[in-house]
Amino acid sequence: MSAPLIWTLVLLALVVAVGLYLSWTAGRLDRLHARIDAARAALDAQLLRRASVAQELATSGVLDPAASIVLYEAAHAARQAEEEHREVAESELSQALRAVFEDSAQVEAVREAPGGDAAAGELTEAVRRVPMARRFHNDAVGAARRLREHRKVRWFRLAGHAPFPLAFEMDDEPPAAVVERAA
């Protein structure tokens, strides 16, 4: 075998190895973007569930009128918010939930009503699942961002035309009285 042929084969093997590595990295990035989409869908479902439960409680007649209005308006705004205002609307719903259920007397009033145990249980589950869903989403976003910041991803444009992933930042602290009662 001649030297030029050997160098050609070595160069070809190197190009194939780099191509395989870049292909693997692009596939990994694609899987991360799919994970972000799935986590965002789960987060949206949990936020919708929390807003629905809050609206149900607000219209149930169990809460005092002022608390019902505050809770209903915040839940309605969260459900109707456009994407660019969603984080703020969801944070306001969290604040309304904490304001309405700041003491355990309000939670007890809900539990004493007919079907109240189920409603309070749904509220507890809804306010517990939102932070978890948000954390999963933001973890996926962080992993994709870290990979997209690598030079090889930028230089070879492995992300394609996928938008840069954004974390979902909101106030998701649950009402203390709801969480205490469930614990």
Report in angstroms the alpha-carbon separations of 88 from 16, 57, 131, 172, 182.
49, 21, 15, 11, 27
Q: What is the pLDDT of residues 109-118, one digit of tens each?
A: 899 989 889 9
Q: Where are the beta strands (DSSP E) in the chain?
A: none
C-beta of residue 148 within 8 angstroms of C-beta of residue 29: yes
**Token pair of 139 as six digits:** 């973890």
Q: What is the pLDDT of residues 127-141, one digit of tens each?
A: 999 999 999 999 999
Q: Which residue has the higher pLDDT, 61 or 75?
A: 75
pLDDT for the residue 40 = 98
pTM value? 0.90
Neighbouring residues of 42: CB distance < 8 A, sequence distance ≥ 6: 133, 136, 137
Q: What is the pLDDT of residues 17-52, one digit of tens each?
A: 999 999 999 999 999 999 999 999 999 999 999 999
pLDDT for the residue 182 = 56
SS3 (DSSP) at 34: helix
Does 183 score more than 60 pLDDT?
no
Return the number of other C-beta atoms located less than 10 Å from residue 92's C-beta: 20
**Which of 26-30, 72-76, 179-183 has the weakest average pLDDT?**
179-183
SS3 (DSSP) at 141: helix
Question: Amino acid identity of 76?
Answer: H
**Token pair of 3 as six digits:** 């030297």
